[in-house]
Chain A
Amino acid sequence: MRVPVSWLKEYVNLTLTPDELAYRLTMSGLEVEKIEHTGADWERDKLVVGEIVETKPHPNADRLTIALVNDGSSAEPKLCITGAPNIKPGMQHVKVPFARLGATIVDGHTDDGSTFVIKPAKLRGIASEGVLCSEKELGISADHSGIMLLDPRAPVGMPLVDWLGDTVLEIAILPNIARALSVTGVAREVAALTGEKLRYPQLTGEGTGPAIAGQIHVDKIHVEIADPDLCARYSAAIIRHVTIGPSPLWMQRRLTLAGMRPINNIVDITNYVMLELGQPLHAFDYDRLPLEQGRKQIVVRRARPGEQMRTLDGQLRTFTPDMLLITAGETPVAIGGIMGGEDTEVHGGTRTILLEAANFDFINNRRAAQLLRLPSEAAGRFGRGVDPELTIPALQRAGEFMRLYAGGAVDQGFADAYPGRKPPLTIPLTAREVQRLLGMDLSQAEIAALLRSLDFQVAEQGEVLLVTVPSFRLDVTIAADLVEEVGRVIGSDRLPATQLADELPPPHRDLLWEHEQAVKEILVGCGLQEIITYSMTTPEAEAKVYLDTPEAAGHSPAYIRLANPISSERTAMRRTLLNSMMENLALNLRYRQRITIFEVARVYLPEGGSGDGLPAEPARLGIALTGPRIPHDWSQGTAEAPPLDFFDLKGIVETLLTDRLHIQGVAFRSASHPSMHPGRCAELLIQDQVAGVLGEVHPLVAERYDIPGRVCLAEIRLDQVLPQVQTMHLYHTISRFPAVTQDIAVIVDDETAAAAVEQVIRETGSSLLRHVQLFDIYRGEQIPSGKKSLAYTLEFQADDRTLTEDEVATLRHQIVQTLAERLGASLRA
């Protein structure tokens, strides 16, 4: 909301500079987002108020006019030549902004705001001694259609900045701003904050014409509210004999500063009063209101299904029964609190005005405005709540203006249906309550004085303040609201900063959260970069990561889908991190050869929800690796490092789960997965439960992301992993006795899993076998085809003695024998 400071001054004495004022308002809850100074760059001695004393046609050009301007500097008027259509020969005593030679003004013929300095120049043979300025040339607006006309009261020769210069505060519109969504509303805040007195506008708009009165006065206007739940009050006035024309310049100026476009006197007056008091008004052409049941009437009612009206923006609108219409009984003439109808709009020939000031239910109003996509000024106010007591003051004010500036005669009295009148709200408040919430001691008297400064009525009853809320404070309904009022008027500077002294809550450690952080730290230790990507995707994008359909792999196709996606690329909540990881690789491969990344995030599974309609949100860990195993450096020359492959990925998973999180029962099993290379894919098992998949991405899948090389990809179900994390695993004694190492090489069938061989070795080796390390796999000469040789280093050690050669030889023999029995292995010679 734009609030011109000059306008504000009409209602309250300003002792602060605009900057100080903006600061005080901001600190107390009316956030001034911007301070705009108009005329700050106008040169005081060069841009002044001028008066056109005489005009005559240019002798050499039909479309140019010569204006003689008194700029107060000398008795001799200055000669100006203008082509502006609103300065015509014969005009006299018109006040205009006058730029003397040497002044800098905005170029009216370009749109980039460029300026120029006025130099002596001849136009068709006659020298011009200055320029009459348009609003655009002054930098006030984009209007260059004519010379700006000033209020006749403007003193000739006064620096223009003193007459026209202004400061406009732009105040953020928060949902609770209803109290201050008007210039007087802001003035009331300023008065309370600065200790000044509010000067509310004089409401002298008592009618002088024949009397009208509410629901009973049927011969003039009958007002009826059929749906009082949506319309608390409907007041109206009749103004006759108006002449449509421009509104006074001062009013136009204020409207412009406030960001509204002047239109004509009637529309401008309704807008002006709305900005001044906060009550939206609507002017109907009374004569165009249809006669129904032989009379002019206003019936406020819900729309009938499919009912239609053309609004004054020319659109034909169709209504539903939860929208409120202003009707002439049958015929709709306006949408309540949103927009008027075209048929009853004020026009050039309008003579009689029916002026509406009503009060509508703010929730319904907002809903209707949203459904109709009609965010009007009126709806913007009604949708935040308007004081129902404002209707009559607004009619009085506007009626008076119409009498003064449109030649109108205001009928006596007002039609006023007020079914929604509420008794004033009284809230008990104690100093103790203020202390309890603010944490600062204030005396009862001080609290009462602060509230009174905001127009609350306060009665003291012992230790209780009975605070009566003024009707314009729709935002104050409970004691806590009053506490905020107290707090914001004294200002937060006085609020102390104290340490929490309340009882500490019982500890509720979130181990899963901590483990999740540990997972991230461990992976970082493995050299991986964490990424965070968007949770929103599309089912189509995720289908890309599966060579088959996701269903073929037993994945459900159900998605949490958005009703209002912001783009076609983000329509649903992701079910997997696999696609996100691939997308991220593709993005970063544009700049990097080697990428090792992970993400910990939730996926959203509608089928796993807990019954309240919400999806399950299990945590997942995604890992992706691609590029050379060893980062390239200068000492390698041009030699190609081998690519990261399945075992790099598996090693990371093993480090994470087994070495660092000490999870028991981690195993890997060859598996097939619609994203993965059929020969390089494993399921992760924890205690025989599938807890994830890891593998190299199927080349055809990688191709879909334009990734040429090997890509290793894993998705691990963290929600299953984290509860298995062991925080209390046992430590192994470090033996003081020497270890004995033995190498063995065994020949087994090619299909025999290395893990099976190792398992036999470990089981047979007993607790004396401390380490088993596979150091070579060999196929080829000396090994029968279809077989392979696996070579292990075995390390034996006891905690209580030095092992004898015999003991070790026996163990070794047992191992070889068991391998032969269980796996058909033979010792390699």
Chain B
Amino acid sequence: MIEQLKALELESLDKLKAIDSLSDLDQWRVEVLGRKGSLALLLRGMGQLPAADRPAVGARANEVKNTLEAAYALAENGIKQQAIGQRLHQDQVDVTLPGRRPGSGRLHLSTQSLQEIGRIFATMGFQVWESPEVELDLFNFELLNIPPYHPARDMQDTFYTTNSDILLRTHTSPGQIRVMRRYAPEPIRVILPGKCYRFEQVTTRSDIQFYQVEGLAVGRHITLADLKGTIANFAIQMFGPGREVRFRYSYFPFTEPSVEADVDCIICGGKGCRLCKYSGWLEIMGAGMVHPTVLRNGGYDPDIYSGFAFGMGPGRISMLQHAIDDIRYILTSDLRFLEQF
């Protein structure tokens, strides 16, 4: 019996060595260790052994069983490892192949800058206000202190409609009058974003349609120094810390004093480069203190109230931010352009 056990052990271990799949392994387990397996069959003969031999045979049989079970566990682990290894090997990919992009949409570049400008001014208490694009001459010019044939009209070549009192607004400033008339005598802090139109030759620097963001603050204690502080805040929020703003005195019919606001060049920081045309400064907006006539037309007494206004082009801002050299891309809505932002 001892010999038979020995032979079974050797034979079974031999078979086990040749097994390389989980199903064969399972079959081996049934055949060898199962309830009707070869070991169980052999041990059924135990009863016929003399009683004195039984303990020794029993001990031996346990040993064999343990050995075979341990061998089984080892083989099972080996086969599983091998199988996983194989699967992992087969799954291997060229990680340099292009990824599958979910096809993200994007906001138009102008919307992105418009929203960013809006968010920045919102932190300073400016709310959004919208006004018509097709405007009365009265609001676009006359109430803004630009009478008919005034030389200031040359600054803004205008699309007129077949009704000569009605035009396409050349700037968002008519919204100043509309918002003042709506809220006078409340204090006002608004930004007025929107499309504007100018009768101009289309060039790399100007298009017949563009966005403008007007800002207007009216109250009892608003000063040119506040305007400078507000624009400095904006420049730092928009272009990053350390930006400086300078004012150049200028002329707009609806502001007095009037200034052009420049920010030190975002590329060279003022040393001079191609972007700033070696001036060290980038013009970002026109601004000034609301002209007393305009305040009065809006329903505010200019002796009591003062206000500032500014106007900038988000197109110009994004051209600066991304070094875009041709404004015409912005309205062609060429996806090859838009998908870059």
Question: A interface vs B, CB < 8 Å?
Answer: 26-29, 31, 174-177, 362-364, 366-367, 370, 383-384, 435-440, 478, 480-481, 483-484, 487-488, 492-493, 495-510, 513, 517, 520-521, 523-536, 560-566, 570, 573, 584, 587-588, 591-592, 595-597, 602, 604, 612-615, 617, 631, 633-635
Does A478 contact B195, Cβ atoms closer than 8 Å?
no
Interchain residue pairs with CB less than 8 A apart (11): A29-B250, A363-B147, A383-B151, A439-B226, A499-B233, A501-B221, A503-B220, A504-B125, A527-B105, A530-B106, A563-B160
Does A480 contact B292, Cβ atoms closer than 8 Å?
yes
**What is the bound-complex CA distance between A617 and B188, given in angstroms?**
25
**What is the bound-complex CA distance between A226 and B160, given in angstroms?**
35
Does A536 contact B128, Cβ atoms closer than 8 Å?
no
**What is the bound-complex CA distance between A495 and B166, given in angstroms?**
40
Question: B interface vs A, CB < 8 Å?
Answer: 97-98, 100-108, 110-111, 115, 124-125, 127-130, 132-136, 147-152, 154-155, 159-166, 168, 183, 186-189, 195, 197, 199-200, 202, 208-209, 217, 219-226, 228-230, 232-233, 245-251, 253, 256-260, 289, 291-292, 302, 306, 330-336, 338-339
Select which of B133, B162, B195 is within 8 A of A563 by beta carbon: B162
**What is the bound-complex CA distance between A596 and B104, given in angstroms?**
10
Does B257 contact A484, Cβ atoms closer than 8 Å?
yes
**What is the bound-complex CA distance between A177 and B159, given in angstroms?**
26
Select which of A437, A483, A495, A500 is within 8 A of B247 by beta carbon: A495
Does A532 contact B111, Cβ atoms closer than 8 Å?
yes
Assess A370 versus B292: contact at CB under 8 Å? Given A487-B249, A527-B104: no
Residues of B within 8 A of A500 (CB): 124-125, 189, 217, 222, 226, 229-230
**What is the bound-complex CA distance between A174 and B206, given in angstroms?**
19
Nearest CB on A from B336, distance (A): 6
Does B154 contact A175, Cβ atoms closer than 8 Å?
yes
Does B108 contact A487, Cβ atoms closer than 8 Å?
no
Assess A524 versus B106: contact at CB under 8 Å? Given A439-B226, A492-B259, A502-B220: yes
Does A613 contact B209, Cβ atoms closer than 8 Å?
no
Residues of A within 8 A of B219 (CB): 502-503, 505
Does B291 contact A480, Cβ atoms closer than 8 Å?
yes
Select which of B189, B202, B332, B333 is within 8 A of A505 by beta carbon: B189
Closest 6 CB pairs of A and B: A439-B223, A439-B225, A484-B257, A502-B219, A29-B249, A531-B333
Does A564 contact B225, Cβ atoms closer than 8 Å?
no
Select which of B104, B151, B222, B249 is within 8 A of A492 by beta carbon: B249
Measured CB to CB, the nearest residue on chain A to B335 is A588
Select which of B115, B133, B232 is within 8 A of A497 by beta carbon: B232
Residues of A within 8 A of B164 (CB): 563
Does B306 contact A437, Cβ atoms closer than 8 Å?
yes
Measured CB to CB, the nearest residue on chain A to B229 is A497
Does B127 contact A508, Cβ atoms closer than 8 Å?
yes
Nearest CB on B from A425, distance (A): 16
Assess A633 versus B100: contact at CB under 8 Å? Given A28-B249, A439-B224: yes
Residues of A within 8 A of B149 (CB): 363-364, 366-367, 370
Select which of A493, A499, A524, A566 is within 8 A of B107 by beta carbon: A524
Assess A534 versus B247: contact at CB under 8 Å? Given A500-B124, A634-B97: no
Assess A504 versus B187: contact at CB under 8 Å? Given A439-B224, A533-B333: yes
Measured CB to CB, the nearest residue on chain A to B289 is A437
Measured CB to CB, the nearest residue on chain B to A509 is B127
**What is the bound-complex CA distance between A597 and B200, given in angstroms?**
29
Does B108 contact A175, Cβ atoms closer than 8 Å?
no
Nearest CB on A from B272, distance (A): 12
Residues of A within 8 A of B202 (CB): 566
**What is the bound-complex CA distance between A501 and B225, given in angstroms?**
11
Nearest CB on A from B109, distance (A): 9
**What is the bound-complex CA distance between A637 and B69, given in angstroms?**
50
Residues of A within 8 A of B230 (CB): 499-500
Assess A602 versus B226: contact at CB under 8 Å? Given A29-B250, A363-B150: no
Residues of A within 8 A of B111 (CB): 520, 530, 532
Does A531 contact B338, Cβ atoms closer than 8 Å?
yes
Assess A497 versus B228: contact at CB under 8 Å? Given A484-B256, A561-B162, A570-B208: yes
Nearest CB on A from B145, distance (A): 11
Residues of A within 8 A of B334 (CB): 587-588, 591
Assess A529 versus B253: contact at CB under 8 Å? Given A506-B186, A573-B134: no
Nearest CB on A from B144, distance (A): 13
Does B159 contact A562, Cβ atoms closer than 8 Å?
yes
**What is the bound-complex CA distance between A231 and B248, given in angstroms?**
35
Assess A533 versus B336: contact at CB under 8 Å? Given A499-B229, A560-B161: no
Measured CB to CB, the nearest residue on chain A to B195 is A535
Residues of B within 8 A of A440 (CB): 223, 225
**What is the bound-complex CA distance between A561 and B166, given in angstroms?**
10
**What is the bound-complex CA distance between A365 and B292, given in angstroms?**
27
**What is the bound-complex CA distance between A366 and B232, given in angstroms?**
39
Does B246 contact A492, Cβ atoms closer than 8 Å?
yes
